Amino acid sequence: MGRKVLPQYGDVDPVTGLYSKTAFLSILSDQFQDSLQPFPRAILSMEFDDLSRFNESFGYEIDDLLLQKLAARLRTCLRNELFAKAGTYRFAIATDYHEEKRLKRLAETIVTALREPFNIEGTMFYITVTIGIAVVTESVVSAKMLLKHAESAMKQLQKDGTNHIGFFTPTDEKHLMTELKLLKDIPGAIDRGEFYLLYQPQFYADKGCYAGAEVLIRWQHPQFGEISPERFIPLAEKSGMIVPLTVFILIETAKMFKKLDTVGMRHFTLSVNVPASVLLEQSFLETVAFVQQMYGLPKGRVIFEIMEETIPENMDGFVTLLKRLKEMGMGIAIDDFGTGHTSLHYLMRFPADVLKVDRSFVRNIHTDKKLFLLFRAINDMAKALHMKIVAEGVEERKEAEIIKSFGGIVVQGYYYSKPIDADALFALVQQACKGDL
């Protein structure tokens, strides 16, 4: 296929001896321009599912050995395809196959070859892989674009979690273009006032009064309409825009406190979602102090919700940060509790005031005995650690009744109210009860 020899392109992955992503793209870029020998005609992007758990449990040496063995086994499935290590646990294959049937067969051969476990120093490792495939079309203008398409197909499969092999489709292309546009639009959208906040009330189940609300952001995009935070928050995180966005949310929250005070709701708390990555940004705490000074973030009434899943495992520095936040009068909640990796030991040292129990423990608590027992265990544990519980996602009266029976729990969910704007909140909540959330 007239490929150039490697040294010209430098870059080789030291562990597997495979081409790096840079070398891979560099080789392909040359051949992409060659009208006599156009190559590649398709790229397969593959990632091994959850491989990082092996290096967490067995260390980097095993990780390296495993990658070497993986590369060797993959090679047995290939003819003369160009093969590269395109990320930590990601490989890429460029091929001159372009018929869907042949490409699918190649991917299936790989999936089958990996089914056999890997024996490394007596331990058996079982690997699964996800493979995204992109075929050259008229709109594909570079090797980089083709690889991006294959990776995007792969990521979509990982998200769906049903199939291990899939092709990049025009819908994916449209989705990718929208994603790119949204990413580009975020900075200007803050200035243009396209982001706004809604509030979802939090209710003391047994006292029968409102404790506060969770602040939830919305984006009214001029072209695409309302976009869910589940879509744009990850994009903002990826692009670094999450920091200015969080500062915007804090300032708007501070303004909301002023309004709450005007209508006499002086005990009402507001919980703000703050990703751990933002807290770890240098000088973020100074920014919080600045907002507090300039706009007012009343002590004891702001709660920072940090998603359990994002809390760093190396906790020392993080705990120091949280303690400083608490000194500034902010409360800390662990969000989506039960979905992440927090161990009991970790929890004991974690200076949280609130556990927000994920809705997967709440939904159907009235019919599922196991859920009930789990919730009871979490409640006992929270009490022992002097933490409050907020139960999320309460949708049914029967769920609410069970949770109320535990006593002292704050509930949030569609059963009480959907997220609403400030005026609707004032209309709903005449008076906040004196709580210690």
Please give the helix or strand (H or E) that residue 218 lies within, else none.
strand 209-221
Residue 134 vs 302, nearer CB to Ca ion:
302
Residue 217 binds ligand C2E (CB under 6 A): yes
Please identify which residue in 28, 46, 110, 233 interacts with ligand C2E, judged by CB under 6 A: 233
Q: C-beta of 270: minimal distance to Ca ion in Å?
A: 12
Q: Which residues in this chain contact Ca ion in the complex, by CB under 5 A? A: 273, 305, 335-336
CA triplet 148, 153, 157: central angle to 5 degrees?
145
Please identify which residue in 275, 331, 338, 435 interacts with ligand C2E, judged by CB under 6 A: 275
Residue 365 binds ligand C2E (CB under 6 A): no
Please identify which residue in 16, 200, 269, 342 interacts with ligand C2E, judged by CB under 6 A: 200
Buried b / exposed e across 30-57, counting CB within 10 Å, b at 16+? bbbeeeeeebbebbbbbbbeebeebbee
Residue 335 binds ligand C2E (CB under 6 A): yes
Stretch that binds ligand C2E, among 129-137, 226-234, 295-303, 420-428 (CB under 6 A): 226-234
Q: C-beta of 168: minimal distance to Ca ion in Å?
A: 33
Among 332, 331, 389, smallest CA distance to 362 is for: 389
Partners of 420 in the β-ladder: 199
Stretch that binds ligand C2E, among 26-34, 229-237, 259-267, 340-348 (CB under 6 A): 229-237
Residue 19 vs 375, nearer CB to Ca ion:
375
Please identify which residue in 336, 390, 411, 437 interacts with ligand C2E, judged by CB under 6 A: 336
Residue 271 binds ligand C2E (CB under 6 A): no
Residue 419 binds ligand C2E (CB under 6 A): yes
Residue 45 binds ligand C2E (CB under 6 A): no
Phi, then psi, of 392 in degrees rounded to 5: -95, 155
Give the type of residue at 325: L
Whether residue 40 has a cis bond before it, omega within 30° of 0:
yes
Rounded Cα distance, 178 and 155, in Å: 16
Among 5, 27, 23, smallest CA distance to 14 is for: 23
Among 209, 331, 329, smallest CA distance to 265 is for: 209
Partner in contact with 249, chosen from ligand C2E, Ca ion, none, beta carbon below 5 to 8 Å by kind: ligand C2E
| DSSP assignment of 244-287 | HHHHHHHHHHHHHHHHHHHTT-TT-EEEEE--HHHHTSTTHHHH
Partner in contact with 338, chosen from Ca ion, ligand C2E, none, beta carbon below 5 to 8 Å by kind: none
Please identify which residue in 253, 273, 342, 379 interacts with ligand C2E, judged by CB under 6 A: 273
Residue 249 binds ligand C2E (CB under 6 A): yes
Residue 216 vs 433, nearer CB to ligand C2E:
216
Residue 63 vs 335, nearer CB to ligand C2E:
335
Among 338, 341, 354, 282, smallest CA distance to 315 is for: 341
Residue 241 binds ligand C2E (CB under 6 A): no
Partner in contact with 228, chosen from Ca ion, ligand C2E, none, beta carbon below 5 to 8 Å by kind: ligand C2E
- Residue pair 172/190 in contact by the 8 Å Cβ criterion: no
Contacts (Cβ under 8 Å, ≥6 apart) of 219: 189, 194, 195, 226, 227, 229, 232
- Residue pair 66/31 in contact by the 8 Å Cβ criterion: no
Residue 292 binds ligand C2E (CB under 6 A): no
Residue 196 binds ligand C2E (CB under 6 A): no
Taking each helix axis as running N to C, give the angle between helix 229-239 and helix 242-262, from 0 to 180 degrees, rounded to the nearest 10.
130
3-state secondary structure of 393: coil
Residue 172 binds ligand C2E (CB under 6 A): no
Phi, then psi, of 33 in degrees rounded to 5: -80, -15
Q: C-beta of 51: minimal distance to ligand C2E in Å?
A: 26
Residue 71 binds ligand C2E (CB under 6 A): no
End-to-end Cα distance, the chain? 68
Residue 60 binds ligand C2E (CB under 6 A): no
Rounded Cα distance, 217 and 242, in Å: 12
Phi, then psi, of 55 in degrees rounded to 5: -75, -25
Q: C-beta of 236: minimal distance to ligand C2E in Å?
A: 8
Residue 40 binds ligand C2E (CB under 6 A): no
Q: Which residues bind ligand C2E (CB under 6 A)?
A: 200, 215-217, 228-230, 233, 249, 273, 275, 335-336, 359, 393-395, 413-414, 419
